[in-house]
Structure 1
Amino acid sequence: MQQVELENFKKILLEKRQAILDNNLEHRKSMENMHDLSFDEADQVAMHMKNTLDSSIFTRHNTELEYIDSALNKIEQGVYGICEMCDEPIAKERLKAKPHAKYCIVCREIVEKNSKD
């Protein structure tokens, strides 16, 4: 992969990382503001459901941040865009769609099939 392409992917990954961090910060601020308010029972149930959803979102964001950090580390190590399973290059179209992809399409399908079984 050419250096220009690597720099472009690095920029995309850093922007995506910052967007997730900004989003998490906004959610935390919103949650903190909600704790200061008084709620009736129905509001408390709704807040509990929102907190459960927010927790799920934070978990997903943290996982995505780990993948992004791993991809950024791979760029620094010179191994970005190489499938972790078969050591073949990941298609640039796949990296454009998911710049923190760990696997090529074929290996991703294998991993997903094995995780369902």
Structure 2
Amino acid sequence: MRQEELENFKKVLLQKRQAILDNNLEHCKSMENIRGLSFDEADHVAMHMKNTLDSSIFTNHNTELEYIDSALTKIEQDTYGVCEMCDEPIAKERLKAKPHAKYCIVCREIVEKNSKD
């Protein structure tokens, strides 16, 4: 992969990383603002549902951050864009769609199939 392409992927990854961190920070600020307010029972139920959803999103964000950090490390180590399963290059189209992809499309399908079984 050319250096210019790597720099573009690095830029996209850093932007995605910052967007997730900003979103998580806003969520934390929102939660801090809610603390100390008094709620009725319906509000508590609604907040519980929102917290459950937010927790799931936060977990997904953390996983995505790990993948992004891993991809950034791979760029620095000159191993970016190589499938972790078959060691073949990951298609640039796939990396454009998901710049933190760990697997080529064929291996990703295998991983997904195995996780369902």
Q: Shorter-normalised TM-score: what interval?
A: over 0.9
Count of paired positions: 117
**How high is the sequence identity, in percent, across the aligned residues?**
88
Gaps of 5+ in 1: none
Query: Match for residue 52 of structure 2?
Result: 52
CA distance in 1, matches of 2:36, 2:94: 45
Query: Match for residue 30 of structure 2?
Result: 30
Runs of 4 or more, structure 1, over 4 Å off, are none
Written as runs of structure 1 = structure 2, the 5 A alignment for 1:91-102 is 91-102=91-102
Written as runs of structure 1 = structure 2, the 5 A alignment for 1:1-117 is 1-117=1-117
CA distance in 2, matches of 1:97, 1:37: 42
Gaps of 5+ in 2: none
Q: Letter of the 1:17 partner, please give it.
A: R
Please report the RMSD computed on the Cα atoms of aligned residues, expressed in angstroms. Answer: 0.4
With normalisation by structure 2, the TM-score equals: 0.99
SS of the residue 1:96 aligns to: helix
With normalisation by structure 1, the TM-score equals: 0.99
CA distance in 1, matches of 2:110, 2:88: 15
